[in-house]
Structure formats: structure tokens, C-alpha cells
Structure 1
Amino acid sequence: MPTRLHRTIPARPARRRSRTLATLATAVVLALTTPAAAHADSAAPAAQRLTGTLADGGTWIADVPADWNGTLLLFSHGFGPTVAQNAPSAGARTALLAEGYALAGSSYDPNGSMWALNSAERDQFATLDAVTAKIGEPTRTLAVGQSMGGLVNAQLARDGAGRVDGALGLCGLVAGATDLDNYQLDAEYTLARLLLPGQDIGLVRFGSAADAATTAQRLTEAVTAAQATPAGRARVALAAAFLNLPAWAPGQDRPAPDDWQGQEEQQYAWFAQGILSFVEGGRYAIEQSAGGNTSWNRGVDYGALLTGSVHAPRVRALYRAAGLDLHAELRTLTAGATITADPAAVRAAARTSSAGQGLAVPLLDVHTVADNLVPVEQENRFADRVRASGDGPLLRQAYVERQGHCAFTTAETVAAVHAVEHRVATGHWDAAATPSALQKAALALGLDGSAYTPYRPAELTVGRGR
């Protein structure tokens, strides 16, 4: 393959290596079936597979088609086993290789936590260096990240001037680890305090993955029992509001705007599918990565927190129907909120597990409107930070009318890549990232459908400073 040499990129200084963390004894994984999963890797066009090992023991892979179009996509994978990946799905990999894109990605450091933010950005830049040393300098490099990798991707978009030209985030956890842990703590605390009063339920500072799994099991069993009564359902709805949990579950029709019972039932469906196992497993991994507890609720006014939630009308209606005193229970939550964070862990998470957020290159973020693991409201929080940094014109956000985490079709993903490439090539977004343009472009691919839609997320319910 001919070598492409278009510009010389100065070497980025190596970042201080984080201390090695014990490998998780138990991995909590939710199997999430997306429309793109129907395509098998074996169907991908012939491509040269390259592999390598990084300084921290991480591995990287790259696939380079024979008719490479000159664009390299650097993919950051989500939370889970630290195994090298270079595409968000098998279907996307097949389609992107067919269009001539080269794909690369790393595992991150395999010796640490699955919350691999201590190493991910460093390893992605190192992968870029290793791949370009073998195939030559790309015409352009686009960063792509999914879920936790969407946070890594936002960091690459912040720090990647001269290394990446544009970025695409898919279902990205762009609010960062501290916001994530805090709103999840509010929900866990509500369940423990109201459904298991007087019981000692460990919510933070897990000593092991088994401890986290025990908490998840106890809380899930409490939610299941509570769902049998009107009072229990009201309290489940309150916790779901603090969790920013969508009221639209997979395989179900979206409830009517005033169908409070139907909405709560669909929120309960997320709990029944095991979301708390993922939440607690993720908390353990973040604590291991940051070196302690990054969340707190001391000083949180739970009445004020609910007032700011888009889910508040449902909660109030269900409490009235159950004959419960919502204000009294909110006061109980506020009075009992005594959990404090470990300051060093909060500082560590701010360094490694937040996007900041300025932008050095254009970024398009795409999210489903009903994401159970990374609420779409994170996009609002993130956009506020980008605008505050003065980089708002570089950011575009688009939404897909579908339930589930990272539940994108291949067509939606490829159309989003094209939109970012348009911005890089022309220097202008024009209308490329609008819902109508993305929808038209995705359908024109003739792949597996699309559901881009105009949408504006609500504010993230978290009750801590921005």
C-alpha cells in the first residue's frame, strides 16, 4: 500500500502512567442488542488486519481496506473488558470498510479497572501513532467513541488539535464520572432509605465486586417487591426520576404524556432488566480507578432536586394516588443525606474522567432519546459546558427516536460519520448535522433504516455544581 505523507505531527509527551489496579473479579455486563448487530464480521470486505502492543500492555488493532479512502477512524470503546475494538458494531465495521475507511482502536490498559479513563486517551493517541507509522499519514483522522468511549472521544476532541480533525460521539457518557456517580447515588439512596428503612445497605466504597453485586441484588429485590403496591410504585418512580431513567422501555409503545402509571411501569421494566447490577458494577470500577468514592449527598436538598426534574409531575401524581406525603419523604431523604466523597478521588476523577470541556475540533454527538444507561440529558449538561468554554460553534448534537443504550442502526452511524467528514472538509457544518439531513442521508444508504428526529433533552437531574 502506498504511504501517504501529508503532514508531520509532533510527538505528544507521554503522560504519567497511573498505578496498576487489580483486575475486576466479577464483570457485570448487560447484553444490549442493537439493530446493527445483525451484520456479521465475516461479511466485512477484505482488509489488512494490523495489530500491536502499547507501552502499558494494551493492544491495538487496525483494519485497512485495499482501496483506503485516506480517512482513518480512531474508535474508543465503552465500559467493559479491556479488549481492542475498532468499530461500534459489526454492521458499522462492514459498511465503513466497504466505503474505504481505515479503522483503528485500542484495548486501553488491561491491568487496571474496566473504567479505563486513567489510560484511554493516552492509549488512543499511542494507537494513532503506531498505526500511522505502519500505513502512512491519513488525509484526515476522525475520532469516534461509544458510551464510556464517548467520554474518551470528547477528551480527544478537546486535546487532539493537530492529531484528529473531527469527532463523532455515540451515546457518550459526556457528563463524566462524578455527575454519573452522583445522580446514581441519589437513586440508590432513595431506594435504600424508603424501601429498606433501617437496613444497612452499602452504597459507596465497595471493597469488592461481590460487595457491589450484593447491593445491586438487595436494591433490585426491594424494587420488585415495591412494584406490587401503589406506595411502592410511587417510591420507585421517585428513585427513577433521580436516576434520569426514561419512561419508555424496549419492545413497548411509548406511553401517553399523562399516562403516569404506564410510564412508571416502563421505568420499572428497566429495573427488572437488571440496570442496578450495571450501576453498582460501574461504581465499583470507577472507585477502583479514582482511588475512592467520587460521589456525595451531604447537603443535597431532595425537594429542590425533584423540582428540577422533568419527571416530577409523574412522581407527584403517583404519590397523590398512593395517599403518601411526598414532601415528608423528601424531607426524610434530605435529613438523612450524610454520604461524603473522598476528596482525592474527586480530584482524580476531575483529571481523568471528565471532558472539561473545551473543543479543539468539531464534534457531533448522537444519542437515543430513551437511553437507560447514559441518559440523553447528559447531552444538555455537556453542551452547557462547551458553550461556557466558548466552543459552542464546534458542537452539534443529534437524536434518534429509539429506546436503549447505543441502539443505533448502521445507517445512522455511517450518516453521522459523513456529517463529521463534511464539517472537516468544508470548514462548515452547513445543514449536514440537522435531523432532516441526517435522516435523509441515512435512508439513502439503503441499509437498515433510520429514526433521526428533532429533539431537545431536559436538564440532567443531578443537583451538584456544573
Structure 2
Amino acid sequence: MTRRITRALTTIVAASALVLTGGIAAQAVETTADTSTSFSGSLADGATWIADKPAHWNGVLVLYSHGFGPLNASDAPNAATKEALLDSGYALVGSSYSGSTMWALASATDDQFAALAAAKKVIGHPRQVLALGTSMGGLISAQEAERGNGRIDGALSTCGLLGGGVNLNNYQLDGEHAIAQLLADDPDIQLVDYADATEVQAATTALTDAVNAGQQTAEGRARIALAAALMQVPDWISGDEPPTSYTEQEAHEAAWLPGMLSFTISGRPSIEASAGGNASWNVGVDYAKLIRSSEHYAQIRTLYRQAGLNLDKDLRTLTRTADIAPDTDALKSLTATSTVTGRITVPELTMHTISDQLAPIAYENLYAKQVQRAGRASLLRQAYTQSIGHCNFTAAEIVGALNTLHTRVSTGHWPSTTARALTRAADRTGYGDSSFIDYRPPVFANARSYTPVHHRWSRS
């Protein structure tokens, strides 16, 4: 049963008051006594922040990190979830981040912690601080779990780019390289170092046209399946259940690709600008070794056999033509700002839809291994929903997961995080449905390291 939420967050009944918070100006806006108080302000580096405190605060302050997009301050994933979090007693704060590009990882964690400090001065000192992030913000929350130094008590990373910016650029490059070499009429499509929007659009159009044309033949469909596996494309885009036949899976992958190509290619210049150059590479990559780790390897082999194609020959083509090297300074910069180590210092719960077209579900496998190698596995739990789409969570799922994390921080012990237990936690919120499932994520096949002198490829 869904609880009726009546908190009118936008009803303003009192005048604004200016509060000085250690040199940071914050504007407090009063709402009705039964709702919440809103605050906003600016940080020294030009970032802005907003915060909301419910009338019946439970003492927990949620530090929210938003995803890739315009640098606007936000303290919740969306309006419905914000309303549910405030209704549950959580106070909220989040910053815009600073910088000149939407990939603002160079400043994000510092800006978030500065916003947290500012909010505490107007909201009051919380009993707990829980980090919450979505997408790129999920990566930021994971960084906060490593760098908090006592400033946060737990983290909930949802649909997080937990593989980091280097792996993000590399898996996208791998898929685009395969489309260019195996499906396009002219394989010399620019894949990195875009100078302007015209070059971005030209690459998007060329790669999308190649996919659309390839889908018309058995040979093209087999090659699309290979490119999709390299690009971590989900094999479920519609319907109540994921498809089970290889043919259906490929059709779903092909349907995902145009939108994915448009988003990822248009986003690359922001990451390159932030890093100071191209930080991705495929020079020296052995694509035959890489693809054998993919969960879709059997699908690819079957579709190639049915189409009468030689998979080994195509993989040799991809390896032979892989000639993109990174700007080593840009690679160092992106590694320093946009990755995680797994050395978390507080309890962390991650949550992912199993069909995520922008943050691969396989990232969860990679991240769990990082945390385990760092000796912090007892602090990490991972949850999954049988849902389609990036960050497609209900308010009940997010509030239920946050309540579970709150319990872990309060008691010092993890409550059950099975799908059944998380479903009960979501149901208790009264904010709608949930679709938690027990799930094991596949291997992230594209992880690798780079040796500049010899362009040597090795699996990370």
C-alpha cells in the first residue's frame, strides 16, 4: 500500500533570512510548520549548495551527489524521492560541484564535504551523515566512503560508475572500435579527441548508421552482438522478463545502441576536457583474450557460426587495427580524480538495476573485487533490482535501502540484505513497489592497465 505524501515542499509562508556561516552565505527559506526548511548558499570555489530540513528530523543528514549533467545544486535524485526522504525524517544537502565541464570529479568530493560543513551550521549537528549518490554521483559517494575521514558514517551508491572514468572511456572505445572496423563502410571514424560538436555528431551518425544497416543481415547482427558485448550493452530493453534466446538478446542490444552511442560520444569531450586530453586506449589490446571473459561469448560464437562468419578473423582485425594510445598526463589525471581504490572506511551499500545502459552492471563485480583485495569486504553489501534503465529506482527502493544502511550504522551490524529482506524494507516505507532480486553480476571484461613504453596490454 502506498502512503499518501502530503508534505507541500513549495509552500512558503515566511520571509527569507540571511545567515552567515563561517564566510559562506546561506539563505534560509521557511515553509509551513508541518513541512520543511530550505537553505542555499555558495562555496569559496563558486559551487552552490542547497539543503532541506524536515520539521520532524530524525537526526540523519543525507549528503547527496548528483550525476553527470549541468552543474546545478541538487540534494535528491528526483522530486518523488526527495519528498519521500523528507517525509521519512531525513535532512538533505548537496552541491552543484565546480568546474568548467560536467565531468566535475576534480572538485566534487571537496565541494560535497564543504556543502556538508555549511549545512551543519544552519541545520544543526546530525547524529549520522549518510552519503547517497546516483550515476557519476554514485562514484563520488564511493570516493567519499574512502576519503570521508570521519565526515560520513555510511554510503549508498546507486547506479554508480564504480569502475571509474578510465574504464568508462575504455569500454565505450572498445565497442565503438568494433562498430567502426566491422560494420561501417569507412572504418576511419574519429573515436577520441573531438574538437567540436560537428565532429561529435559526425561520429555519432556514422556509428549509428553502421548499426542500423548491420541489423538488416545475419552477418551484421553477429557483429553487432560482438560490439555490444565489448561496449557492455544490456540485453534487455523491454518486456516483463529478460530475453533468453541469443537472437532476441541481440535484437535488444541493437535497440539500445543508438541512444547509447549518442549519449556516450557526446559525453566524451567533457571527460577529455576535465582530464586534459584523451585518457583511453586500445593499442596493444588482444580482443580475442578480452572477449572470452564476456558473459555473451557463447552468444557471439553462436551467432557468428549461424551467419557463416569467422569470429577469430574479426577479432584479429580488431587487435591489428587498435591504434589509439592515451595522453599519459590525461590518463594520470583521470586516474587520480575519477577512480576508486576499494579502501572504504565506512559501511557501503551499492544498488544497481540489472539492465543499465550507462553504468554497466559488471562494474559491481569489479568493485566488489577491489573492496575485497583492500580487505574491506565486511563493510560492503550489494543489491540489485530487476529493472530496465539507468538509475530507474522507485522511491521505496531508495528509502528502504537507506533505512537498511542507517540500521547498519546505528547497530554496528549489517541487517539482512537479501532481496527478500530489502523488499520488506521497501514495503515498510509505504512509498510504492520494489523489484529487488538476488543476482550475481558478470565479469567486467574491459578492465586493463597501460604501459606507455611498449603499449603493453594486461588485464587489471
* TM-score, length-scaled by structure 1: 0.88
Residue of structure 1 in register with 2:281 after alignment: 296
- Matching residue within 210, 215, 220 for 2:208: 220
Deviation by residue 1:227-265 (Cα, 9 ceiling, x = unmatched): 111111111111000011111003464212xx1110000
Q: How does 1:21-100 map to 2 (within 5 A)?
A: 46-100=35-89
Gapped runs of 5+ residues in structure 2? 11-33, 450-459
Residue of structure 1 in register with 2:31 after alignment: none
- Matching residue within 147, 150, 156 for 2:135: 147
Residue of structure 1 in register with 2:111 after alignment: 123
1:264 and 2:244 correspond: no
Distance in 1 of aligned mates of 2:52 and 2:69: 22
Deviation by residue 1:161-183 (Cα, 9 ceiling, x = unmatched): 31000010000001100011111
Q: Secondary structure at the match of 1:303?
A: helix
1:453 and 2:442 correspond: no
Deviation at 1:435, TM superposition (A): 1.8
Amino acid aligned to 2:175: A
- Matching residue within 408, 422, 432 for 1:438: 422
Amino acid aligned to 2:251: E
Distance in 1 of aligned mates of 2:435 and 2:230: 28
**1:250–1:404 contact (8 Å) kept in structure 2:** no
Residue of structure 1 in register with 2:18 after alignment: none
Moved over 3 A (4+): 38-45, 250-253
Distance in 1 of aligned mates of 2:187 and 2:430: 55
**2:184–2:206 contact (8 Å) kept in structure 1:** no
Deviation at 1:57, TM superposition (A): 1.1
Q: How does 1:154-233 map to 2 (within 5 A)?
A: 154-233=142-221
Deviation at 1:282, TM superposition (A): 1.9
Q: CA RMSD in A?
A: 1.8
When structure 1 is superposed on structure 2, of 192-201 and 128-137 the one drifting more is 192-201
**2:5–2:84 contact (8 Å) kept in structure 1:** no
Percent of aligned positions that are identical: 47
Residue of structure 2 in register with 1:384 after alignment: 369
Distance in 2 of aligned mates of 1:117 and 1:39: 35
If asked which structure has higher relative contact order (CA below 8 Å, sep 6+), I would say 1
More strand per residue: 1 or 2? 2
Deviation at 1:365, TM superposition (A): 0.2
**2:174–2:230 contact (8 Å) kept in structure 1:** yes
Q: Secondary structure at the match of 1:345?
A: helix
Q: Secondary structure at the match of 1:461?
A: coil
Deviation at 1:212, TM superposition (A): 2.1
Amino acid aligned to 1:138: P
* TM-score, length-scaled by structure 2: 0.89
Q: Secondary structure at the match of 2:106?
A: coil
Amino acid aligned to 2:250: E
Q: Secondary structure at the match of 1:118?
A: helix
Q: Secondary structure at the match of 2:38?
A: strand
Distance in 1 of aligned mates of 2:238 and 2:341: 33
Residue of structure 2 in register with 1:363 after alignment: 348
Deviation by residue 1:136-194 (Cα, 9 ceiling, x = unmatched): 21111000000000000001000113100001000000110001111111000000011
How many correspondences in the alignment?
425
Deviation by residue 1:304-359 (Cα, 9 ceiling, x = unmatched): 11111001111111111111111111111111111101100110011100012210
Amino acid aligned to 2:429: L
